[in-house]
Chain A
Amino acid sequence: MINNSPFSLCTDIGYFSVNKHDEQLCGDHVELIEQDENSVVFVLADGLGSGVKASILSTLTSKIISTMMANAMSVEECVSTIAATLPVCEVRKVAYSTFTIIRITNNTEAEIIQYDNPMVILLRDGKNFDYPKTSTVIDGKTIYRSKIPIKLDDTFITTSDGAIYAGVGQSLNFGWQRDNIIEYMEDIFDREYTAKALAGMLLDECVRLYGGVPGDDTTVGVLKIREREQVNLMIGPPSDPADLKKMQTLFFSKQGKHIVCGGTTSTLTAEFLGKPVIPCLDYISPDIPPMAKIEGVDIVTEGVITISKVLEYAKDYLDENKLYDNWSVLPDGASCIARCLFEEATDINFYVGRAVNSAHQNPNLPITFNIKMQLVDELSKCLKQMGKKIKVSYF
């Protein structure tokens, strides 16, 4: 079952920024380019100063570098292009943006190229790993380069200098040094945490040290090497009842967790498996219908209402991430599906039945066939934005 080939690994990426207080724009910028399924270029740039000027510098820098790197051009070319392109600051007479590039190739090797940002921290098996670096001078800039074969759970943590200044003169005398960040991350590290969760925790700590008033733009990016994890979700019976057996057989032949949504769908699944559906009566929250149990299925829930809630969580997760504290812990159907899809899964197969539930075609009910199809569409879009590989099959 366990495939040791590098292609069973993938890179989970999460990053967050906060602006220097009273600034509307962030002077840090992250660019991400996926070269193919197994290769990605991540660039974090920190523009000189703050506000508009810094934002322009870092946006240009990260866009130029990520595009050039993704097109296999050398670092030398990237650096000289940036030097020739960036507008020169009137006050300081320099064009300047620091940057960190992390390129994961074929999910086997990480190439790190660093210019003047705090050095990337690599946690291997949850402990700080001192990776080799070589320095090169390009256009008068000292650039550190490393090439590291990657391992499962390797976690690359990159920050802008706002992170290490956190707390200077406030809660700490000399700010938060790289060593303190390493200690903090080693402490909280758990292989179950997603890159997004780890990045969020580190950034929250920085903001806390700043006393809620960041003295500099602060960005945290985390790249975590994890195993691919497939999850399969079935919703709705097939439009032609003759396809039911085919749909169920295909669904259950897939590896990974199985989620079944919908009352009728669950009943049919239970019949297919020759097991009873055991509905549960506990409403965790009045607006999400209770779950059920079928032996052989990991999660059984009601259909459209639960999935609408999952979609609401997905949109929020990609946006302000305000509802994380709900779905990350609650035991209701929508939260269980959200955790499974957003955090555990890297590859998701949807099995969508297009049968029209005649009982739902009632003007008194806000459920229509179109809503169901739309929900799946929107949810797969959100999941793609989270970096998941999505396959939708209709029956």
Chain B
Amino acid sequence: MKNISICVGSSCHLKGSYKIIEMAKEFIANHNLEDKVTLGGAFCLGRCTDGVTIKIDDEIICGVCPENFQQIFEEKVLNA
């Protein structure tokens, strides 16, 4: 089971948390990962300058944006 948290603090929100959450939900549904992944929010992961910040298990990944989303999620979620 993988735990993914997406930061919804002020800075990450402004940098597009909403879009990343939507993409993550879609990604999980498209790959039928509902039983393997839990998706949650985080209330500021302390990396405000380089959001959107997400946390996959214990690894913090900064600067997630729609452009690198596929690559990060394929690498860290699908093929991990």
By a beta-carbon cutoff of 8 Å, the part of chain A in contact with chain B is: 262-264, 266-267, 277, 279-281, 283, 286, 289-290, 292, 300, 302-305, 357, 359-360, 362, 364-367
Interface centre among A263, A267, A290, A303 (most CB of B within 10 A): A263
Q: Once bound together, how far apart are the Cα atoms of A367 and B48, in whole Å? A: 11
The residue of chain A having its C-beta at the shortest distance from the C-beta of B18 within the complex is A286
Is the pair A292, B41 in contact by a Cβ cutoff of 8 Å?
yes
In the complex the two chains form, is B14's CB within 8 Å of A366's CB?
Answer: yes
A365 vs B50: C-alpha distance in the bound complex, in angstroms?
Answer: 10
How distant is B13 from chain A, measured CB to nearest CB, in Å? 4
Instruction: Tell me the B3-55 residues at the A interface (CB within 8 Å).
Output: 5-6, 8-11, 13-14, 17-18, 21, 39-44, 46-49
Q: A225 CA to B10 CA in the complex, in Å?
A: 39
> Which residue of B is nearest A304, CB measured?
B10
Nearest CB of chain A from residue B37's CB, rounded to whole Å: 13
Contact of A289 with B17 at beta-carbon distance under 8 Å, contacts A281-B8, A302-B9, A360-B10 already known:
yes
Which residues of B come within 8 Å of A, CB atoms?
5-6, 8-11, 13-14, 17-18, 21, 39-44, 46-49
Contacts of B49 in A (CB 8 A): 359, 362, 364-365
Residues of A within 8 A of B13 (CB): 289, 302, 305
Task: Please report whether the interface of chain B is mostly helix, strand, loop or mixed according to DSSP.
Answer: mixed
10 A-B pairs with CB atoms under 8 Å apart are: A279-B5, A281-B8, A281-B41, A292-B43, A305-B14, A359-B46, A359-B49, A362-B11, A364-B49, A366-B14
Complex Cα spacing A314 to B22, Å: 30
Contact B14 A367 (CB under 8 A): yes
Q: Which of A290, A300, A305 gathers most chain B CB within 10 Å? A: A290
Chain A residues, Cβ within 8 Å of B48 = 357, 359-360, 362, 365
| Residues in B whose Cβ lies below 8 Å from that of A364 | 49
In the complex, what residues of A have CB within 8 A of residue B40's CB? 279, 281
Contact in complex: A302, B14 (CB < 8 Å): no
Cα A360 to Cα B21 in complex, Å, equals 22
B8 CB contacts on chain A under 8 angstroms: 279, 281, 289-290, 302
Q: Which residues of B contact A279 (CB under 8 A)?
A: 5, 8, 40-43
B21 touches A283 (CB 8 A): yes
In the complex, the 9 A-B pairs of residues with the closest C-beta atoms, listed nearest first: A263-B44, A359-B48, A279-B41, A263-B9, A289-B13, A281-B41, A286-B18, A279-B43, A263-B43
Nearest chain B residue, comparing its CB with the CB of A305? B10
Report the Cα distance A302→B44, complex, angstroms.
Answer: 9
Shortest Cβ distance from A266 into B: residue: B43
In the complex, residue of chain A having the shortest beta-carbon distance to the beta carbon of B25: A281
- Cα distance A267–B40 in the bound complex, in angstroms: 16
Shortest CB distance B22–A (Å): 8
Residues of A within 8 A of B5 (CB): 279
**Which of A277, A279, A280, A286 is the most central at the interface, judged by chain B CB atoms within 10 Å of its CB?**
A279
Alpha-carbon distance between A268 and B55 when the two chains are bound, in angstroms: 20
Contacts of A277 in B (CB 8 A): 43
Contact at A264–B39, with CB atoms within 8 Å? no
In Å, the complex CA distance between A42 and B40 comes to 52
B residues less than 8 Å from A292 (CB atoms): 41, 43
A sample of 11 more A-B contacts (CB under 8 A), given A279-B40, A359-B49, A365-B11, is A262-B10, A263-B9, A267-B44, A279-B5, A281-B8, A292-B43, A302-B10, A302-B43, A303-B10, A367-B10, A367-B14
Contact A290 B41, CB 8 Å, known A281-B6, A357-B48, A359-B49: yes
In the bound complex, residues from chain B placing their C-beta under 8 Å from that of A266 are 43-44
| A286 cross-chain contacts in B, Cβ below 8 A | 18
Q: What B residues does A289 contact at CB under 8 A? A: 8-10, 13, 17
- A364 to B5 CA separation, bound complex (whole angstroms): 23
Q: Which chain B residues border A305 with CB–CB below 8 Å? A: 10, 13-14
* Chain A residues near B9 (CB-CB < 8 A): 263, 289, 302
Q: Specify which chain B residues have a CB less than 8 angstroms from the CB of A290 in the assembled complex.
A: 8, 41
From residue B11, how far is it (CB to closest CB) to chain A in Å?
6
Shortest C-beta distance, A179 to chain B (Å), equals: 53
- Nearest CB in chain B: distance from A236 CB, A: 11
